């Protein structure tokens, strides 16, 4: 896959789905990103099975939604962009769906992430589960190819199923899939090589990984390097370097605390969810201040460990930041918030109309994952909710 420039839109839950399929709002959003100059736009969180969803309205990749996916890929291609689908499985991280029986994960025990929905137990996956889930990733990637995607991104960070294997916070196995960092990445690397073998001639196969988990007892920078080397050996075409875990260290993913006020406003009715958010906010280190390129030191460690293409992510907000990333040996930059704030940013950087994003890194947009109209920057006008009620392929 060749890209027209080095700017990638990060997979960032758009909240723009209906009946587990893309809505017209999702098509509009990614069309605007492509028209705004982004080389590769990533559609966030496509569950490889119904059980892999974390929220009820998420896209669940299946043949029935191919016409909707095709509208999405056509819209981006018409603007000269490329499009990737983040394919993933939540495992035990299921916050918005009630699962029958225990959720699946690397290890068994109490499931912190599932408590709000009553998914309070999790069980350790066995070989048969691993074979089935590998098959689900392969089938999802094949459907993405059929729908016209240029790439798939396997989500191996932030605490979802594949990360539940990689991180010692959730992997307490005593077999060949637990213990050392090399063992913990075995199953995710196997999934990647199966996907690569199935679609690798036609699609780029990307993995999003954690450079570190950011909390004591979590994956370290050295673990991140071992993970990267294993995925390089498994045939990944590009690694997107992220960080943090949704339950233990979401502030590390964003380089700043969650926006508790905005979250409470959007989630109005649910006192339980709001209490959980306030409790999670307490884990934020005192005095945490957002810094541009807040993951650079960790990402350098990965740069030194592998030769393959790497995408720098985390607090890229200016042309200068992107240039720094290139000088540091990264091949491209990946941005979420700066492009949620302004889908036309890349063209503006290119023309010289702007050198700096106006995003304030307040994390208000994260709350709007749960809004009926989908994610938006709180500095911008609201989205049209009507567009988010209609499937992409509807007449």
Closer residue to ligand SF4 in complex, CB, 103/388: 388
End-to-end Cα spacing for the chain? 32
Residue 365 sits in the site that holds ligand SF4 (CB under 6 A): yes
Using CB under 6 A, which of 361, 370, 383, 388 touches ligand SF4?
361
Angle of the 221-234 helix axis to the 296-305 helix axis, nearest 10: 40
Q: How far is the CB of 281 from ligand SF4 (least distance, A)?
A: 16
Using CB under 6 A, which of 17, 49, 363, 388 touches ligand SF4?
363
Per-residue interface string for the shown chain with ligand SF4, residues 374-393, x marking contact by CB under 6 A: ---xxx--------------
Q: How far is the CB of 185 from ligand FMN (least distance, A)?
A: 18
Which stretches of the chain bind ligand FMN, using CB under 6 A? 10-13, 44-45, 86, 155, 158, 208, 242, 253-254, 313-316, 335-338, 340, 365-366, 369, 375
Selection from ligand FMN, ligand SF4, none that 315 binds (CB < 5 to 8 A by kind) is: ligand FMN
368 is catalytic: no
Selection from ligand FMN, ligand SF4, none that 7 binds (CB < 5 to 8 A by kind) is: none
Kindly state the tokens that stand for 114. 């599932």
CA distance 28 to 292: 29
Selection from ligand SF4, ligand FMN, none that 12 binds (CB < 5 to 8 A by kind) is: ligand FMN
To which H or E segment does residue 46 belong? strand 40-47
Place of tokens 């709000």: 116
Place of tokens 């798939």: 152
Question: Beta partners for 333?
Answer: 7, 312
Closer residue to ligand FMN in complex, CB, 89/173: 89
Place of tokens 């109005």: 268
CA distance 211 to 226: 10
Q: How far is the CB of 361 from ligand SF4 (least distance, A)?
A: 5
Q: How far is the CB of 97 from ligand SF4 (least distance, A)?
A: 26
Q: How far is the CB of 265 from ligand SF4 (least distance, A)?
A: 12
Closer residue to ligand SF4 in complex, CB, 334/378: 378
Residue 241 CA to chain centroid, in angstroms? Answer: 11
Residue 33 sits in the site that holds ligand SF4 (CB under 6 A): no
Closer residue to ligand SF4 in complex, CB, 27/365: 365
**Which of the residues 298 through 337 are near ligand SF4 (CB under 6 A)?**
337
- From residue 195, alpha-carbon distances to 153, 166, 198, 334 in Å are 10, 18, 5, 22
Q: Is the dihedral of CA 305, 310, 313, 318 positive or negative?
A: positive
CA distance 52 to 21: 15
Instruction: With beta carbons less than 8 A apart as the criterion, state whether 29 and 374 touch.
Output: yes
Selection from ligand SF4, ligand FMN, none that 335 binds (CB < 5 to 8 A by kind) is: ligand FMN
Closer residue to ligand FMN in complex, CB, 124/207: 207
Selection from ligand SF4, ligand FMN, none that 252 binds (CB < 5 to 8 A by kind) is: none
Selection from ligand SF4, ligand FMN, none that 369 binds (CB < 5 to 8 A by kind) is: ligand FMN
Identify the active-site residue in 45, 160, 294, 312: 160
Burial 342-370 (b: 16+ CB within 10 A, else e): bbbbbbbbeeeebeebebebbbbbbbbbb
Count other C-beta atoms under 10 Å from residue 197's C-beta.
13
Contacts 24+ apart (CB under 8 A), 345-352: 345/36, 345/37, 346/5, 346/7, 346/36, 346/37, 346/38, 346/39, 347/36, 347/37, 348/37, 349/7, 349/37, 349/319, 349/322, 350/5, 350/37
Selection from ligand SF4, ligand FMN, none that 81 binds (CB < 5 to 8 A by kind) is: none
Q: Which residues bind ligand SF4 (CB under 6 A)?
A: 337, 340-341, 359-365, 377-379
> Which positions are catalytic?
160
């Amino acid at each position: 896959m060749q890209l027209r420039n080095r700017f990638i839109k990060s997979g960032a839950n758009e909240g723009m789905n209906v009946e587990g399929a893309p809505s017209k709002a999702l098509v509009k959003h990614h069309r605007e990103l492509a028209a705004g100059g982004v080389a590769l736009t990533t559609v966030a969180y496509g569950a490889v099975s119904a059980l892999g969803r974390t929220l009820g309205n998420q896209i669940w990749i299946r043949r029935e939604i191919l016409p909707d996916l095709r509208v999405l890929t056509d819209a981006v291609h018409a603007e000269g962009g490329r499009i990737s689908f983040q394919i993933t499985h939540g495992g035990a991280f299921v916050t918005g769906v009630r699962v029958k029986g225990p959720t699946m994960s690397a290890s068994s025990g109490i499931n912190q992430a599932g408590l709000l929905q009553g998914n309070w137990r999790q069980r350790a996956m066995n070989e048969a589960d691993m074979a089935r889930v590998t098959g689900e990733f392969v089938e999802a990637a094949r459907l993405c190819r059929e729908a016209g995607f240029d790439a798939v991104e396997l989500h191996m960070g932030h605490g979802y199923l594949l990360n539940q294997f990689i991180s010692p916070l959730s992997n307490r196995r005593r077999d060949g899939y637990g213990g050392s960092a090399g063992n913990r990445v075995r199953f995710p690397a196997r999934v990647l090589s199966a996907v690569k073998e199935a679609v690798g001639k036609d699609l780029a196969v990307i993995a999003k990984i954690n450079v570190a988990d950011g909390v004591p007892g979590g994956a370290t920078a050295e673990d991140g390097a071992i993970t990267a080397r294993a995925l390089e050996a498994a045939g990944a075409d590009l690694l997107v370097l992220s960080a943090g875990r949704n339950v233990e260290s979401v502030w590390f993913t964003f380089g700043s605390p969650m926006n508790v006020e905005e979250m409470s406003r959007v989630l109005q009715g649910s006192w339980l969810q709001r209490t959980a958010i306030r409790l999670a906010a307490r884990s934020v280190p005192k005095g945490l201040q957002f810094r541009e390129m807040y993951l650079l030191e960790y990402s350098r460690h990965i740069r030194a460990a592998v030769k393959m293409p790497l995408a720098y992510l985390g607090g890229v907000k200016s042309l200068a930041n992107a240039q720094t990333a290139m000088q540091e040996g990264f091949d491209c930059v990946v941005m979420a918030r700066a492009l949620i704030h302004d889908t036309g940013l890349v063209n503006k950087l290119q023309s010289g109309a702007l050198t700096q994003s106006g995003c304030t890194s307040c994390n208000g947009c994260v709350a709007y994952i749960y809004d009926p109209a989908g994610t938006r920057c709180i500095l911008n006008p609201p989205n049209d909710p009507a567009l988010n009620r209609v499937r992409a392929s509807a007449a």
